[in-house]
Structure 1
Amino acid sequence: MTVNAPVASPKISILVSDLSKQGAGRWGGAVRTFLLAQALERIGVTVKIYGFVFGDEPCEPTVSDVPIITVPGEYYPGFIGRSRALLKQLDTDIIYALRPKPTTLGLALWHKRRTGCRVILDIDDWELSWHGGDGYRYRPSLRQLAQDTLKPRGALRYPDHPLYLRWMESRVSQADAVTVHTQFLQTRFGGVKIPNGKDTELFNPEAYDPQLSRQAYGLSDYRILMFPGAPRPYKGIEDVLLALDRLDDRDLRLVIVGGSPYDDYDQQLMQRWGRWIIQLPPQPVTKMPFVVAGADIIVVPQRETPAALAQFPLKLTDGMSMAKPILATRVGDIPEILQDSGYLVEPEAPEAIAQQIRWILAHPEEAQQRGALARKRCIEHYSIEAMSGLLSDVVRSLQSS
């Protein structure tokens, strides 16, 4: 694919709220922050990533040599000084703020007023969906308000408190351009839709031996359903496990790669369905193609919730790029992404999932053909190169306006 570079090569600073290993760095460079950086580099842009580190150590991405500049994150009032320290290090033409948060869009708009730089806002999640969505209200008692504002770790001292997130949503229109990655977010916020891209050269099935992968991870005795990501209730893992209960085939296993960095949900799954689950530790993105090579089916069983509608499941393109049969639900953009290259069922339908698992394993030639078609679609529409082309248009439009 030929990508038109911007009129002149600008300097773009990607601004991230949390670059810790619990934040944007939790998957070793596989999340949107680093996908955007890779895509921008391919159109000749000079890219740096800036952000805060709340809590643990900063991330160590494994797929890009883009410079990463961090400062420790703090609650208010210390956050004000940390923000100034970060902004002083910016040498940029465009700030690419990730998500409408005070720590990103808020600082970007502040810097724009001071320097005249342009601001692009990227929205790859609906932050308020984690706090009740449009129904969220902050209605504290006087005592609670005092605690939230006066205690050193009071809730309102956290820079990205949900109340502030709501305020920042009303500032989205102040960005010079907006990019999103799902139709749900585009309907809500507008902007240019730029789906996540996959490095299809790294995720190339011809470079990996499925049998060696199975041997390396102790999977040789089973037929493998794989979920390469962090399980959460809205991601529908329970529906796959209920399907395995129905099938009751001792040769089947669900491999979960990474576990949950948020809570003990994966342990809850193990307690109830441990006989079906094999859990692998988190893997750097450079190792993920080898892991995925060992799968018979990639499962993406999203449930229809606001959180799921807002997200683009990266595990979907893991499987597509590796030419794997994909069993997914008709939720959000998934049907558009897969079209005829995967197997679709309704959400929260364990019986339908069980039937499709049985069908896919009984028809390996058809499954292989669909996997090949999925890789073709991934290269054409959901690769880093495809992402670069769309980003080039956004950057060029800012330069010419």
Structure 2
Amino acid sequence: MKEKVKVSLLVWNLSTNDGFMRASLLQKALNKLGYEVEILGFLFGEKLYGAIPAETKLYTVEGSNYPNFIKSISKILKLIDGDIIYAIKPQPASFGVALLNKLYSRKPVILDIDDWELSWHGGDKWHYHPTLKQLAKDLLKKDGALRLPHHPFYLKLMERLVNQANAVTVHTSFLQQRFGGISVPNGKDTGLFDPVRYNPDESRSRYGLSEYRVLMFPGAPRPYKGLEDVLIALDKINQPDLKLVIVGGSPYDNYDEQLKQRWGRWIIKLPNYPADVMPDVVAAAHIVVVPQRDTPETRAQFPLKLTDGMAMAKPVLATRVGDIPEILGDTGYLAEPSCPEQIAEQIKLIFQDLDLANEKGISARKRCIEKYSIEAMASTLSSVIARLS
């Protein structure tokens, strides 16, 4: 291999967060190791999901449905220039493209699995057994289901090809048990997310939160994320200065508005903020809440909100789902999933001795730096790539 190894990160859809965030974290870790990195991906929407650093080498190709997607694949194959191809997610538009590239270039492929894609379609219960008539419709009609590059039929095929990758990285134990590979948990930029750089009182004042005890959820509400359980807990505690601050809101549907209609007295909604502003926003929290419910989807996930709170030395209140207890260790507060009564008790416990809770937060930051920082991520990636040499 060349002295300066180049890695091509392939993202199936740069128009959404579905792989974009993971790719950006991997890019930071690979840059720390001295690798040259390019990001390539399809745009199935009108624009990029987020801001890309100016120094990033980024190449996009317009995405489309089959059969036109074959032309899109041809275009992106001509752009791939890395010595190692790193596909984000077992999607046809990332891993499938990487395997096609491998056929003629012989360049090694790493597959990163940061979610169980099939879980969104029923997991192992999903099967495709169409009649001949239905199969013809799905293939031939302009809006036929099999014309979608991300149809679960193709996802299931990609899962069967995981062993064709030269290396696999995952970020939760659920995914490791299912697909094997090396655990590379999401890393946090603990230099940016450093509580020493921010003043909580000033942050609360800046975002209109000075009068409240703030439980913060820095993410998009979805039913499986358990915010209803926190809101029911606030009903039980019934102290008007306690507020659930939702940062960003849902880009998927009107679920956050449904929450507000029922529990509006407990909710304060803040807009989306750029990544470099988020530490200042999180600084305003008294508690960061990650109340995941126990579902096939959540068991496979590593909620980035955990390390938002940990890196900022905040008390983190979460549920015993997936890897969350392992990630927090003894540095956070845990409740059973879908249990508002336990969540209420933990909220009261934290505010009864906020000094102790903040000491736990300091321990959480130390744990985050050791195990869940960009530097920790880079250290593991170094050994993964060394095996390909």
> Are residues 24 and 101 of structure 1, via their aligned partners in 2, closer, same or farther at CA, if it must alter by over 3 Å?
closer
Amino acid at match of 1:236: G
> Are residues 7 and 193 of structure 1, via their aligned partners in 2, closer, same or farther at CA, if it must alter by over 3 Å?
farther
**Pairing partner for 1:270 from 260, 263, 275:** 260
Counterpart Cα distance in 2 of 1:22 and 1:323:
26
1:142 CA displacement: 4.2
Give the corresponding residue for 2:274. 284
8 Å CA contact 1:302, 1:329 repeated in 2: yes
8 Å CA contact 2:215, 2:285 repeated in 1: yes
Higher RCO (C-alpha 8 Å, min separation 6):
1
Give the corresponding residue for 1:148. 138
Give the corresponding residue for 2:46. 56
Q: Percent identity?
A: 59
8 Å CA contact 1:62, 1:286 repeated in 2: no
8 Å CA contact 2:19, 2:89 repeated in 1: no
Amino acid at match of 2:265: R
8 Å CA contact 1:195, 1:387 repeated in 2: yes
Give the corresponding residue for 1:13. 8
Amino acid at match of 1:326: V
The answer to whether 1:167 aligns with 2:162 is no
Q: Which runs of 4+ in 1 moved over 6 A?
A: none
The answer to whether 1:126 aligns with 2:116 is yes
Counterpart Cα distance in 2 of 1:192 and 1:64:
31
Structure 1 residues 214-229: aligned runs within 5 Å: 214-229=204-219
Counterpart Cα distance in 1 of 2:143 and 2:36:
37
1:261 CA displacement: 1.4
Counterpart Cα distance in 1 of 2:330 and 2:2:
38
Give the corresponding residue for 2:36. 46
Q: Secondary structure at the match of 1:253?
A: strand
Counterpart Cα distance in 2 of 1:244 and 1:147:
50
Amino acid at match of 1:263: D
RMSD: 1.4
Give the corresponding residue for 2:236. 246
1:345 CA displacement: 1.1
Unaligned runs of 5+ in 1: 1-5, 26-30
Name the count of aligned residue pairs. 389
Give the corresponding residue for 2:312. 322
1:7 CA displacement: 9.2
Give the corresponding residue for 1:185. 175
8 Å CA contact 1:300, 1:315 repeated in 2: yes
1:56 CA displacement: 2.0
1:9 CA displacement: 3.0
Counterpart Cα distance in 2 of 1:264 and 1:231:
9
> Are residues 82 and 95 of structure 1, via their aligned partners in 2, closer, same or farther at CA, if it must alter by over 3 Å?
same
1:246 CA displacement: 0.5
* TM-score of the superposed pair, with normalisation by structure 2: 0.97
Q: Secondary structure at the match of 2:285?
A: coil
Write the deviation string for residues 212-267 of structure 1: whole angstroms up to 9, x where unpaired: 21111111111000001111111111110110010111001001111111222111
Unaligned runs of 5+ in 2: none
**Pairing partner for 2:355 from 365, 369, 374:** 365
Counterpart Cα distance in 2 of 1:95 and 1:233:
35
The answer to whether 1:86 aligns with 2:81 is no
Counterpart Cα distance in 2 of 1:63 and 1:205:
23
1:71 CA displacement: 0.6
The answer to whether 1:211 aligns with 2:201 is yes
1:145 CA displacement: 2.8
The answer to whether 1:339 aligns with 2:339 is no
The answer to whether 1:34 aligns with 2:24 is yes
**Pairing partner for 2:127 from 120, 134, 137:** 137
Counterpart Cα distance in 2 of 1:207 and 1:256:
23
Q: Secondary structure at the match of 2:346?
A: helix
